[in-house]
Chains A and B, each alone.
Chain A
C-alpha cells in the first residue's frame, strides 16, 4: 500500500520518526492529539507510542535524581492517560517504566553502597527478588492515593543517605552528608548510569511489545487441535497471527464472525487472512455476527483478542464480543483470550470508568442516507466489557493462564506503589 506513505497525515510511524528532532514537550503534545484524533489507536499502537515517548522523557527531561525522574514520568504519563482515557494500556506502560526506574535505582544504590563499603544486598540478590522490593517494605500496603508519595519520601531519604544530596533537593531531609564534594560527582555519574540503564529497559519493553504477538502465536498448535471448529469474532492482528501459525501445523475450520461490513472498509478486511489460511489448507467461513449463535453447537473453541485484560479477568474488547462469549458460555464452549502481558491491567472492572466507547455513527448507517441520519439515533459501540466468568483461558506471551493466575503476573510486572498510578 504505497499511497499511505505519500500522505501528509501524521501516523504512528511518522510520529516515531519525528521524535528525535523535536523538543519533548511538542512531541508529547503531538502524541496527545494523535490519540485524541484516533490517528493512533488500538492497544498495540498506543503501547508502542507510550513506551517510545517515555524513553524520550527519560532521555530528554531534566532530572537529577530518581524521584524527579519518577515525577516526570508520572506527569507525562498522566497527560497521555487523560488524552485517551479508554486506552488502558497507556497506564500499564507507564507503570512498567516506573517499576523499571525503581528497580534500577535500587541496583544503583546497592552498587553505590558497595563502593562505600556498605554491606548490602548484592546485585544478584536484588535481581532475585523483584516483586519484594526494599522500598515497598514498610508494612502491608493498602492501595490508596497518596501512598506513593509517602513511599517516594522514604525512598528519597534512603537514597540521599547513600548517594548524595543535591542542593535543590535538601528540603526535608535534615541529614547533610559530610564530604559533599565527592558525592555530587557520584550523583551525576549515577544519574547518567541510571539514564542509560532505564533507556535499555524501556527498549526491552518496546521489544517485548513487538514480539508479543509472535510469542502468543507460538502457543497456537497446543491450543488448536486437528478438526477443530474455531470461531473468531472480528479477528485482531494478534488473533490472525495466532490462527495463521496454527494453520501451518493443524487442519481446522475457521468461522470468522464480523459485524456488518464497516463503511469504508468493505468485506475485504479479512481477505488477506483468508488467503493465508486457504494457502495453508484451512477452510474459512465468513458469517455475519448476528448469526453466529446458529453455528455455536458446531464450534469447538472461541478465540478473541482484547484491548485490555483487567485484574479480575474481565476484558475490554470490540463491541459485540460479549454476546459471542455469552453464547459460547451457554453452549459450554471454551473462550480463549489472546493478550500480551502489557495489556494486563491492575484495575478491576468496577474501577474502569465506562468501558463502553461510542464511535463514529457512520459505521452502521451511511451518512448519505438523509432520512436515516435525521430520524434515527445511531450508537456505534466500538469497545465493551466482557465479564470474567465468560472467559476460560488467557494466553499471554508468557503462556496460557487461568483467571486465578493473573494476579501473579500482575505482581510480577507492576510495583505496588504504581498500581494506583493515574489517580496520583
Chain B
C-alpha cells in the first residue's frame, strides 16, 4: 500500500495539490448506515421503537452494525433514518461511546441525515448523491447488520478493480451458506445471483418466492455466449453489505423509481448493462459471520447464532456495549451482574441480563432474558426472547415467542409458539393462548390504543390482537401474491397459503402454458375493450389448442406478446411503407428470448391475421388480406423467409396458426365466424399468389386433422373449400397440361 501510494504520488507530481488532497481522502473509509428499511416486518414492535434499536441478545441492533464498522476501520459514518429518527439520534447522542464529541468514539465523525419526504431506501441514496458527501469508495450497510467479517480483502479487490476499470462500481459482499436448509438464510424470498465464478462478476439478480406462479429466472442468452462458466447461486446469505463508488449514487439518481437496493437497483442495473455499462462484482465469503436481522425469522436465527457463538467476538460475554458485564459460566449460560438464580432452576444455553431473577423449579433453555426481569417459580421458557422488565409469574410457560419490554404473563398461563407480545401487554392468570403466530399489542396498526381483549387475555389483561394495516386494507388476492407476508411472523410457514405446484426442473409445465394462453386471451381482450370475458368452454378449448404448439418452449409467453405487438404496430403504421425496422426488431427479440422457430411462426401468423381482421372492419376480406400482406415493402419476404421458411410441414403449421388466431378472434367476439372463414381463404390465396405458400402446403393443411378439430375450427376451415377446390382443379389442369406436354 505504502509503496503503491508513493508511486502514485510520484506520478502525479504535476497536479500535486488536487491529487494529494484526493488521496488523503481515499485513506478515510466512509460508511452509510440505512437505519430504516421502510418495511413493517417487525410490527407490532416497531410501532414504538425503530428496528435498529430493538434488542438482539440484549444489545440494540445498531450496536452490532457500528461495531462492525469500527472493527473494519471505518472513520466517517452517516446514518440515514426515517421513522423514529429522534429515538435513534437520542440513542447515539446519549451513548458515551458513539456520541460525536466523545473521546471514546472510534469514528472521526458520525452524522445523521434527515430526509423529510423519503419513502424508500432509494430516496435516501438519491439524497446522498445530491449532497456529494462520498469522496471515494464507501461501505453501505443496513442498521440491522450483524457481522464479524473483515472487509479489508474485499475493499482491496474492489479498489483494484475500480482502478483497472472505472465502471466497476460496486462489490456486493455475500456469505455462502451451503445447499442445505439453513436457519440464517432468508426464508420466503430467495435471492438468486448469477455469478461468473472466474471473476466474481455478478451478471443477474432476481428474487424468487414460493408464491409466484412460475419458478424461472429469465436470463439473457448472450450471457451464456460471453462467459465460459456461470453459477446461479441461491445458497447465499445476503447481508446487505455493499462496497460502492460514488457512481452508484449517480445511478440511483438516474433511476428515480428504484426503491429497493436489491430487487430494483441491483436487478435493474444488471439488466440494463448494455445501457449503463456498469460492472457489479460479488465477494462471496466462506468464513466469518454476516447476516441481516431483516425480519423476525432472521431475528430468531441470528439470536440463535449469537447463543451458539457463531458471531464471535460479537457475543454477550465480550461486553462490547459500555455498561454490559456478562460472564460465561458452565453450559453456555451467560450472566450479567446481579442476576439471582434459584439453585433448583435449570438453565441451558441462555443469556440473563442485569438483576434478573429466576425462581425455583424453573427451566430456561435457548432463551435470552433481558434486564430486571422477574421470573417466578416453576416457569418454563423455551427458545424465547424476553426483553427488559418482563414479569412472568409462577407456573407460566412460554414457547418460542418474543416478549417485549414490560410484558406481564400471569400465573399458570401459557404462550404458544410464534407469539409476539408487544410493549406492556398483560396476560391474565391461567390463560391458555392457543393460536400460534398471534400478535398482541396495546396499539392497533394505525397507532391508536387498541381495545383490551379481555376474552382472550383474561379479566385483568391489557392489549388486543394486532392486525397489520395492510391486511385490513388490501383484499385477499393481493395479499397472497406479496412474499413479504411470509416474513412477518416469527416462524416461517407456508401452511394455509395457496402455492403453485409447478416445479423448476421441467421446462414446460401446465402452469406455464396456461399463463401463456391467458396472456393471449388478455391481449385479445385488450384489443377490444367491449369484449366480455370468454366463457369457460372457449378457454378450455383455447388452452388445448395452445398446448399443442407451446409445449416446445417454456418462455414463449414474453416473446410472443412483445413480438406480436411489435409487428402489429409496424403493420398499422401509416407513415412508412418499409418493413425492415420491424424485421430487425423482431429478430432482436427472437435472439433475446431464444425463441424457437415455431414460436416465431406463431407470432408472425398471429400478427398478420390480427392485422387483416382489423382491416376487415372497413374492407372486404380479399382487400383486407391484400392490404395486410402487401402494404408494407418487404413484409412478404419476411413472412416467406422467417414466418414460413420451409417445406410443406412448416407451411401447414403456419396455416394452422393463422386459422387458430382467427378462431380465437371469433371466440373473443371480435369477428363473425363467416367473415373469419372468408378472411382465411383470402389470406391463403394472397399468400399463394405471392409464392409464400405452395399448393402442396395448402392441400396438406386441408387434409390435416388438426385443422378440422372442434366446431369453430371447422366453421372457419369450411370457407376455404372453394379455394382448395380451385387449387385442386388447377392442379388437375396443371397435370393435364403436363400430360399434354408429355403427349406432345
Query: Is B176 in the interface zone, CB < 8 Å from A?
Result: yes
Query: Is A37 in the interface zone, CB < 8 Å from B?
Result: yes
A264 engages B287 (CB within 8 Å):
yes
A23 engages B103 (CB within 8 Å):
yes
B313 engages A6 (CB within 8 Å):
no
Query: Is B630 in the interface zone, CB < 8 Å from A?
Result: no
Our pick among A8, A353, A358, A368 for the contact of B152 (Cβ within 8 Å) is A8
Query: Is A144 in the interface zone, CB < 8 Å from B?
Result: no
Residues from 370 to 419 in A contacting B, C-beta threshold 8 Å: 370-371, 373-374, 377-380
Q: How far is the CA of A7 from the CA of B2 in the complex (A)?
A: 11
Query: Is A125 in the interface zone, CB < 8 Å from B?
Result: no
Query: Is B349 in the interface zone, CB < 8 Å from A?
Result: yes
* Stretch in contact with the other chain, from B66-74, B559-567, B702-710: B66-74
A360 engages B310 (CB within 8 Å):
yes
B106 engages A358 (CB within 8 Å):
no
Our pick among B151, B180, B304 for the contact of A8 (Cβ within 8 Å) is B151
Q: How far is the CA of A9 from the CA of B182 in the complex (A)?
A: 30
Contact partners of A354 in chain B: CB under 8 A: 328-329
B183 engages A358 (CB within 8 Å):
no
Nearest B residue (CB) for A362: B310
Contact partners of B176 in chain A: CB under 8 A: 368
Known: A30-B106, A368-B178. A7 touches B155 (CB 8 A): yes
A37 engages B320 (CB within 8 Å):
yes
Contact partners of A196 in chain B: CB under 8 A: none
Residues of A within 8 A of B (CB): 2-10, 14, 23, 25-26, 29-30, 33, 36-39, 263-264, 353-354, 358-362, 366-371, 373-374, 377-380
Contact partners of B722 in chain A: CB under 8 A: none
Q: How far is the CA of A369 from the CA of B185 in the complex (A)?
A: 12
Our pick among A23, A29, A39, A380 for the contact of B71 (Cβ within 8 Å) is A39
User: How many residue pairs bridge A and B at CB < 8 Å?
Assistant: 127
Known: A8-B72, A358-B309, A374-B182. A25 touches B103 (CB 8 A): yes
10 tightest Cβ-Cβ pairs between the two chains A and B: A370-B182, A7-B152, A8-B73, A6-B1, A368-B178, A360-B312, A264-B287, A29-B104, A370-B180, A26-B103
- Output the least CB separation between B577 and chain A (Å): 62
Our pick among A2, A23, A373 for the contact of B310 (Cβ within 8 Å) is A373
B287 engages A263 (CB within 8 Å):
yes
- Output the least CB separation between A357 and chain B (Å): 9
Q: How far is the CA of A39 from the CA of B314 in the complex (A)?
A: 12
Contacts beyond the supplied A6-B4, A33-B106, A362-B288: 16 A-B pairs with Cβ under 8 Å: A7-B150, A7-B153, A9-B71, A26-B104, A29-B97, A29-B106, A30-B106, A36-B318, A36-B319, A37-B67, A37-B320, A264-B288, A361-B310, A362-B312, A368-B177, A374-B182
B150 engages A361 (CB within 8 Å):
no
Instruction: Give me 21 A-to-B residue pairs in the complex whose CB atoms sit less than 8 angstroms apart, sorted by A's number.
Output: A3-B153, A6-B4, A7-B156, A8-B29, A9-B72, A9-B73, A9-B151, A9-B152, A25-B103, A25-B104, A29-B97, A29-B104, A36-B318, A37-B320, A367-B177, A367-B184, A368-B178, A370-B180, A370-B183, A373-B184, A377-B308
B106 engages A6 (CB within 8 Å):
no
- Output the least CB separation between B32 and chain A (Å): 15
Q: How far is the CA of A353 from the CA of B313 in the complex (A)?
A: 19
Query: Is B252 in the interface zone, CB < 8 Å from A?
Result: no
Q: How far is the CA of A196 from the CA of B155 in the complex (A)?
A: 42
Q: How far is the CA of A367 from the CA of B301 in the complex (A)?
A: 13
Contact partners of A23 in chain B: CB under 8 A: 103
Query: Is B323 in the interface zone, CB < 8 Å from A?
Result: no
Query: Is B744 in the interface zone, CB < 8 Å from A?
Result: no
Query: Is B181 in the interface zone, CB < 8 Å from A?
Result: yes
Q: How far is the CA of A140 from the CA of B319 in the complex (A)?
A: 39
Contact partners of A379 in chain B: CB under 8 A: 309, 332
A368 engages B312 (CB within 8 Å):
no
- Output the least CB separation between B458 and chain A (Å): 35
B309 engages A359 (CB within 8 Å):
yes
B287 engages A4 (CB within 8 Å):
no
A362 engages B104 (CB within 8 Å):
no
A3 engages B180 (CB within 8 Å):
no
Contact partners of B183 in chain A: CB under 8 A: 370, 373-374
Contact partners of A5 in chain B: CB under 8 A: 1-2
- Output the least CB separation between A53 and chain B (Å): 14
Contact partners of B181 in chain A: CB under 8 A: 370-371, 374
Q: How far is the CA of A124 from the CA of B318 in the complex (A)?
A: 47
Contact partners of B305 in chain A: CB under 8 A: 373
A373 engages B182 (CB within 8 Å):
yes
- Output the least CB separation between B237 and chain A (Å): 9
Nearest B residue (CB) for A363: B312
Our pick among A6, A8, A264, A378 for the contact of B308 (Cβ within 8 Å) is A378
Query: Could you mark each residue 276-291 of chain B with 1 if its beta carbon is under 8 Å from any beta carbon of chain A, else 0?
Result: 0000000000111100
Contact partners of A14 in chain B: CB under 8 A: 73
Known: A370-B182, A377-B332. A33 touches B73 (CB 8 A): no
Residues from 324 to 348 in B contacting A, C-beta threshold 8 Å: 327-329, 332
Known: A29-B103, A362-B289. A10 touches B73 (CB 8 A): yes
Q: How far is the CA of A6 from the CA of B152 in the complex (A)?
A: 8
Our pick among B151, B180, B332 for the contact of A371 (Cβ within 8 Å) is B180
Q: How far is the CA of A313 from the CA of B355 in the complex (A)?
A: 37
- Output the least CB separation between A60 and chain B (Å): 13
> In this complex, which of A26, A30, A367 has the most chain B Cβ atoms within 10 angstroms of its Cβ?
A367
B309 engages A7 (CB within 8 Å):
no
B309 engages A380 (CB within 8 Å):
yes
- Output the least CB separation between B329 and chain A (Å): 7
Contact partners of B304 in chain A: CB under 8 A: 374
Query: Could you mark each residue 56-76 of chain B with 1 if its beta carbon is under 8 Å from any beta carbon of chain A, else 0?
Result: 000000000001001111100
Nearest B residue (CB) for A374: B183
B103 engages A36 (CB within 8 Å):
no
Q: How far is the CA of A7 from the CA of B349 in the complex (A)?
A: 36
- Output the least CB separation between A85 and chain B (Å): 8
Known: A3-B152, A7-B150, A8-B152. A370 touches B178 (CB 8 A): yes
B328 engages A358 (CB within 8 Å):
yes
- Output the least CB separation between A376 and chain B (Å): 9
A367 engages B74 (CB within 8 Å):
no
Nearest A residue (CB) for B68: A37
B318 engages A37 (CB within 8 Å):
yes
- Output the least CB separation between A76 and chain B (Å): 14
Nearest A residue (CB) for B2: A5
A6 engages B156 (CB within 8 Å):
yes
Q: How far is the CA of A37 from the CA of B317 in the complex (A)?
A: 11
Contact partners of B288 in chain A: CB under 8 A: 264, 362
- Output the least CB separation between A193 and chain B (Å): 30
Q: How far is the CA of A354 from the CA of B318 in the complex (A)?
A: 15
- Output the least CB separation between B321 and chain A (Å): 10
B318 engages A7 (CB within 8 Å):
no
- Output the least CB separation between A122 and chain B (Å): 45
Query: Could you mark each residue 169-203 of chain B with 1 if its beta carbon is under 8 Å from any beta carbon of chain A, else 0?
Result: 00000011110111111000000000000000000
Known: A6-B1, A9-B150. A36 touches B313 (CB 8 A): yes
Contact partners of A37 in chain B: CB under 8 A: 67, 71, 313, 318, 320
Q: How far is the CA of A379 from the CA of B330 in the complex (A)?
A: 11
Nearest A residue (CB) for B28: A8
- Output the least CB separation between B715 and chain A (Å): 60
Known: A26-B104, A358-B309, A373-B182. A8 touches B177 (CB 8 A): no
Q: How far is the CA of A7 from the CA of B27 in the complex (A)?
A: 10
A360 engages B309 (CB within 8 Å):
yes
Q: How far is the CA of A29 from the CA of B97 in the complex (A)?
A: 9
Contact partners of B287 in chain A: CB under 8 A: 263-264, 362
Contact partners of A371 in chain B: CB under 8 A: 180-181
Nearest B residue (CB) for A6: B1
Residues from 100 to 117 in B contacting A, C-beta threshold 8 Å: 103-106
Contact partners of A380 in chain B: CB under 8 A: 309
- Output the least CB separation between B440 and chain A (Å): 28
Contact partners of A366 in chain B: CB under 8 A: 178, 286
Q: How far is the CA of A33 from the CA of B69 in the complex (A)?
A: 12
- Output the least CB separation between A261 and chain B (Å): 12
Nearest A residue (CB) for B70: A33
